Amino acid sequence: MITASENHDERTQKVLELLEKIVVQAFRDLITGQLERRYGDPLPKWAKDRIAGATYGEIKDWSINLLEAPRLEDVFQSALVRDFVVMITSRLREEYPELLSDENIQSLEALQSALESGRI
């Protein structure tokens, strides 16, 4: 049997979950507006999809990235992806400098962009 206290706790939990959804959606709307103003309206589908599934933490990171990101793709770059690409590029430069042709650098940048946008 559910007691009045348990029923109250369930209602409180549901209200908190609803509030969290409302707040996160408000932040999604805010970052969408900021990105459209800076990079053009409408945003590409991949960017809208990323925003639609974003957590509060991701939106917070993106709002900071937005301040300095020269390209829309750069906004969605996570520190992990950035560090990974920097590490790989650095290692290639040290151990295999002959592999770093302009074409290979462009391939690394394309990989980075695809990772950031969630296309892979």
All structural domains of the chain with their residue ranges = 1-70, 77-120
For residue range 50-64, list pLDDT tens digits in order: 999 998 888 998 999
Would the pLDDT of 2 be above 60? no
Please give the mean pLDDT across all residues of the chain: 83
CA 75, CA 118: separation in Å to the nearest integer? 13
Average pLDDT over residues 103-117: 72
Does 119 or 72 have the greater pLDDT score? 72
CA 76, CA 35: separation in Å to the nearest integer? 11
Does the predicted model carry a pTM greater than 0.95?
no
Would the pLDDT of 109 be above 70? yes
